[in-house]
Amino acid sequence: MLSQEFLIQRGYCCGHGCLMCPYEPKHTEGNTNLMGYENTNKKTLIVCALEIETQGQLDNYDVLYTGVGKVNATFELTRKFGKYGSYIPYDMVINYGTAGSRKIKKKTLVDCTKFIQRDMDVTGLGFMRGETPFEQDPPFVIQQQNIEFNPIGRNATCGSGDNFAEDKSQYYGEVVDMEAYALAKVCYLYDVPFISFKYITDGADEQAHEDWEANLADGIIEFKEKVLDKLPKSL
């Protein structure tokens, strides 16, 4: 017998009369309506760019690896959510990854609750840096919504862009990465609470590549101790 969890994750009704069919009306092929299940069995999804950043330490968690960059992050998280139709079984999405900063010292774990697209630059047409032209919603600075869990509490601003920031022209925000803004935007549009935790591996300078490789392994240990071990059991 197919479990209800499997049927929910499949994202649609097969119409074959499954005993545990979670869709309403039941046994209607192609139906994605999960009305009545919105508040049951929800959990936390952890999203990371690369497996190397987690060092095999998150095998017991629900983890999505997106690949590097805003396009990959947008596509993979949207595809993940899209599998569930109208029901998304997550109370919260936590992004973990490495990042650079010129304002926060290396080997520091920070929480990011504000997100901007640092490589969106249409200032020549009168728009602010980071502002997507003619887009009103979400605002060009996306802020954390409807989430109480934050064991760090720094509330940093993260600037995301599709380049490895190594000079001041590529730097915007307290922290720079390549995915968080895209993930925050997807969660904003799906109305799923989102927060990001970044381990500062480098100074977003000419030594960034070397420092990233040298420091990335330490971040996942601190993330587990300071964040995952403090997750409420209901999450």
Q: For the segment 9-46, what is each residue's pLDDT rounded down to a tens digit? A: 677 788 888 877 877 777 788 777 765 544 445 689 99
Question: CA-CA distance, 226 to 231, in Å (whole number)?
Answer: 9
Is 184 a residue whose pLDDT tops 90? yes
- The larger pLDDT score, comparing residue 137 to residue 220, is at 220
Amino acid at position 129, single letter: R
pLDDT at 52 > cutoff 60: yes
| Residue 229 or residue 19, greater confidence | 229
- Average pLDDT score over residue span 146-168: 81
pLDDT in tens, 75-121: 999 999 988 877 788 989 999 999 988 889 999 999 999 999 988 88
* pLDDT score at 208: 77
Q: What is the DSSP string of 9-27?
A: HH-S--SS--TT--SSSTT
Q: What angle do CA 62, 182, 138 make, to 5 degrees?
A: 120
Ranking 10-24, 41-55, 140-154, 194-208 by mean pLDDT, the lowest is 10-24
CATH 3.40.50.1580 matches 42-230:
yes
Residue 232 is predicted with a pLDDT of 79
Give yes or no for residue 149 having a pLDDT over 90.
no
Amino acid letter at 181?
Y
pTM, whole model, 2 decimals? 0.78
pLDDT above 60 for 235: no
Considering only CA atoms, give the Rg of the chain: 19
Share of the chain above pLDDT 90, in %: 42
- Give 220 or 40, the one with higher predicted confidence: 220
Distance from the Cα of residue 120 to its chain's centroid: 19
- Considering the chain, what is the average pLDDT of its residues? 84
The residue assigned the tokens 């040298």 is: 214
Domain residue spans of the chain: 1-37, 42-230
Location of structure tokens 């920031």: 165
- Quickly count: other Cβ atoms within 10 Å of residue 222's Cβ: 14
Query: What pLDDT does 34 receive?
Result: 66
Asked whether residue 229 carries a pLDDT value surpassing 60, the answer given is yes
pLDDT higher than 90, residue 214: no
